[in-house]
Amino acid sequence: MPVPVLTVDGPSGSGKGTLAQTLAQHLGWHLLDSGALYRIVGLVAVEQGVDFDDEIGLAAIAGHLDIRFTPANPGEPAAVLLSGRDISSDVRSEQSGYYASRVAVFSAVRSGLLALQRGFAKAPGLVADGRDMGTDVFTDAPLKIFLTASAEQRAERRYKQLIDKGESVNLAALLEDIRLRDKRDSERAIAPLRPASDAVLIDSTALNREEVFQRVIELLRLRSLI
Ligand code: DC
């Protein structure tokens, strides 16, 4: 029996990170936060002085990452360990999101991370969160979700998150940033953000977290995956 993989792709702020984490905890399945891997490649590049235009140098970093996600407590994100060092707060910073978007455009970086990502598919199952989980990394996954929400809704959610963290932010600037990032992610030549042809689209603009979660659980049941 192959290990069941549930892919959750979509733009930033669609709620896919929280959805994937909640599903993994509920199902007792492993979780792959693939965005974190791109963020870490960016962080290591800065640490080692590798330029963001140096595709070969960045790919070498991607191919040699020693990463562990510690099991999370319910409702909390997993800690991220790089060669045993806890880098969780750096990984979740706005800065590393920017680094990730710079390194993610290179095909050598993307292919350098493939084996690492596929290695997360272990029994009893995997929830894989990202942009290209259903289109490139786990093309045979028996259930693929593409989660979207309007740019306005995503900006508002992000705004609330940052305010809760005590950061001073501007809603209009966040919206502009989200629109630009969407454009860059969906128009790039390598692995553009798009739903897999066999993905189920869920628009979370008018749905709360629980409703989205229940929808996916229902789909998993319908496909006899749980
Ligand atoms: O989901 P996130 O915010 O952690 O992603 C950070 C960046 O990494 C974002 O610009 C898109 C990119 N990314 C990607 O290209 N492919 C993935 N599977 C995950 C993230």
pLDDT in tens, 40-58: 999 999 999 999 999 999 9
How many domains, in total, are found in the chain?
1
Looking at residue 8, its pLDDT comes to 98
Please indicate, yes or no, if residue 210 is contained in any of the structural domains.
yes
pLDDT in tens, 189-207: 888 899 999 999 999 999 9
Residues with CB under 6 A from ligand 1: 12, 34-35, 38-39, 97, 100-101, 104, 130-132, 185
Please indicate, yes or no, if residue 211 is contained in any of the structural domains.
yes
Structural contact between residues 45 and 58, judged by C-beta atoms closer than 8 angstroms: yes
Omega of the bond prior to 192 within 30 degrees of 0, cis? no
Question: In angstroms, rounded to a whole number, what is the distance separating the alpha carbons of residues 103 and 61?
Answer: 11
Ligand 1, pocket-test mutation among 18, 69, 98, 131, most atoms within 8 A of CB: 131
DSSP state of 152: H
Range of the domain at 121: 5-220
Please indicate, yes or no, if residue 78 is contained in any of the structural domains.
yes
Structural contact between residues 59 and 112, judged by C-beta atoms closer than 8 angstroms: yes
Please indicate, yes or no, if residue 110 is contained in any of the structural domains.
yes
The most distant pair of C-alpha atoms in the chain lies apart, rounded to whole Å, by: 50
Please indicate, yes or no, if residue 225 is contained in any of the structural domains.
no
| One-character DSSP codes across 26-82 | HHT-EEEEHHHHHHHHHHHHHHHT--TT-HHHHHHHHHT--EEEPPPPTTSPPPEEE
Looking at residue 192, its pLDDT comes to 87
Please indicate, yes or no, if residue 193 is contained in any of the structural domains.
yes
Looking at residue 220, its pLDDT comes to 98
Task: Note the pTM of the prediction, 2 decimals.
Answer: 0.93
Ligand 1, pocket-test mutation among 8, 14, 38, most atoms within 8 A of CB: 38
Question: In angstroms, rounded to a whole number, what is the distance separating the alpha carbons of residues 189 and 130?
Answer: 17
Please indicate, yes or no, if residue 226 is contained in any of the structural domains.
no
Looking at residue 161, its pLDDT comes to 85
Tokens 């229902």 belong to residue: 218
Please indicate, yes or no, if residue 20 is contained in any of the structural domains.
yes
Which CATH number is 208's domain given?
3.40.50.300
